[in-house]
Structure 1
Amino acid sequence: MPHRPHTLIHVVEDDPSIGRQICDTLEKFAYRAKLFRTGSEFLQHLRVEAPSLCILDLGLPDLDGMDVMHRMRKTHRFGVLIVTGRTDTSDRVLGLELGADDYVTKPFEARELIARVRSILRRYTPEEYDHDRPEVRVARFAGWQFEVRTYRLISPDGHEETLGLAEAQLLLTLLRSPNQILSREHLLSGRNVSALDRSIDLRVSRLRRRLEENPQHAKLIKTVYGAGYLFSAVVSWS
């Protein structure tokens, strides 16, 4: 995948050999990598420089990786890839709920790491707009409005909030294909998913909590068991 030359990626990993391995792999593929051995060092550096992506180990010596991500997400919206040796699925689920985009478990192959890095960076690349239709900026559905370029979501009663990137891109994908069944793989930009990979389900759940009166009995984002999800609304663009 083409990317901007020297895209900066921060690697937060306390194991020197693994940290260097990750950085060497990234640099081999023309990314610029900066290594941090502690969560505190990383958070302090964020005040002066933010990356396009952070590769974050959960098992840090000073701060729990979940705590690092929670603090980071309060002020920054770049991509996050969790690297963990933990086998407990709940840790990965919690990481995704806190705002991580994906995870990879140790040990991992270089090509798997790069594939996940590319996938996340692709989600954070600004949308390419049709120059023949520059007026298309706002989607309207079921009384809601979604501003594509600002990620601003306006409820039927006028309440406004700005979505995070993952939720905004999920909503945009649904809005572009209303009343069609979309597979979990499609909603994850084509990445194959396993039975334990709940990242898209968690994003759907967060989006439902924003849009649905009763998220347990969703009317807008419907689950089609064994197939995926369906966005049940008429969508207009302006």
Structure 2
Amino acid sequence: MTDAPLVTILDDEPAIRDMLSDALEEAGFRTMGFSRATEFEAALKSTTPDVCLVDLSLPDRDGLSLVHRLALEQGATVIIISGRAQVQDRVTGLELGADDYIIKPFDPTEVVARIRARLRKPGLSPQTGETARFNGWTAHFDRYMLTDENGSETPFSHAEGEVLRLFLERPKRLISRAMMQESLGGAAGESFDRAMDVRISRLRTKLREDPKNPRLIKTIYGAGYIFLGDVTWS
């Protein structure tokens, strides 16, 4: 199945790589495993994964810095798999652009389910494409880039792009937390809410919003969010 999603597994423990590879391939995914960040980064020059599973405790690189680079430069979903269970580690990983955070030890079927959830995309309405223009900005979803009126470019991550696209497809409509969870996948709860808060905060920063009085992404307390821009797609 050459069109099956490709999942890369970066973990220095062979038993974990083998366990994940077996579970994922049985579920219909293709996999590639790596024990070091250097060989993984070399493979990215010729390979475009759909999902990157990244352990934080790597022998040759800090996993968090790698997650940050992947979130900015790759279109893949990034999921951290780590034995670090502290809340601050999870928050930091999400703030750096990870889509999800799975704590070791884990059941491989849970990882498969999380990946499937992350790969589910919001249904695209007929008028949407790969480029959206709104309030002096252009969002290029084919290359994960925001461009302002002067042509200055700001990259956004895959995770940020999912949220931005959800807003741009539904301008001037209330988007509840439940709708975000249903559209973007992932388990509802505090972790999901925190991940959405982080992504929306990062999008506001990239759109140069006043955090105390944002003009485009408005928080409706107790209800959700509304995107107030006028959007055209091409």
| 1:145/1:154 contact within 8 Å kept | yes
Tell me, what secondary structure is at the counterpart of 1:218?
Answer: coil
1:209 is displaced (CA, Å) by: 0.7
Counting only pairs closer than 5 Å after superposition, residues 51-70 of structure 1 correspond to structure 2 as 51-70=49-68
Query: Is 2:197 the counterpart of 1:201?
Result: yes
1:150 is displaced (CA, Å) by: 4.9
Q: Which has the larger radius of gyration?
A: 1
State which of 74, 80, 83 in structure 2 corresponds to 1:82: 80
Q: Which has the higher contact order (CA 8 A, sep 6+)?
A: 2
State which of 211, 226, 229 in structure 2 corresponds to 1:233: 229
Distance 1:177 1:40, change over 3 A: same
Counting only pairs closer than 5 Å after superposition, residues 140-179 of structure 1 correspond to structure 2 as 140-147=133-140, 149-179=142-172
* Alpha-carbon distance between aligned partners in 1 of 2:17 and 2:74, rounded to the nearest angstrom: 23
Gaps of 5+ in 1: none
2:187 is matched with 192
2:212 is matched with 216
1:224 is displaced (CA, Å) by: 1.8
* Alpha-carbon distance between aligned partners in 2 of 1:71 and 1:190, rounded to the nearest angstrom: 23
| 1:185/1:191 contact within 8 Å kept | no
Q: Structure 1, residues 163-216: CA drift from partner, whole Å, max 9, x if none?
A: 333223322211221222212343342433222332111110111012244123
* Alpha-carbon distance between aligned partners in 2 of 1:84 and 1:218, rounded to the nearest angstrom: 35
Gaps of 5+ in 2: none
* Alpha-carbon distance between aligned partners in 2 of 1:76 and 1:98, rounded to the nearest angstrom: 13
Identity of aligned residues (%): 38
State which of 33, 36, 42 in structure 2 corresponds to 1:35: 33
TM-score normalised by structure 1 residue count: 0.81
Tell me, what secondary structure is at the counterpart of 2:67?
Answer: helix
Counting only pairs closer than 5 Å after superposition, residues 104-119 of structure 1 correspond to structure 2 as 104-119=102-117
Tell me, what secondary structure is at the counterpart of 2:117?
Answer: helix
Which amino acid in 2 is paired with 1:226? G
What RMSD, in angstroms, separates the aligned Cα atoms of the two structures? 2.9
2:5 is matched with 7
TM-score normalised by structure 2 residue count: 0.82
Which amino acid in 1 is paired with 2:164? L
| 1:5/1:30 contact within 8 Å kept | no
* Alpha-carbon distance between aligned partners in 1 of 2:142 and 2:41, rounded to the nearest angstrom: 28
1:32 is displaced (CA, Å) by: 1.7
Tell me, what secondary structure is at the counterpart of 1:230?
Answer: strand
| 2:72/2:157 contact within 8 Å kept | no
1:94 is displaced (CA, Å) by: 1.6
The size of the alignment, in residue pairs, is 231
| 2:81/2:104 contact within 8 Å kept | yes
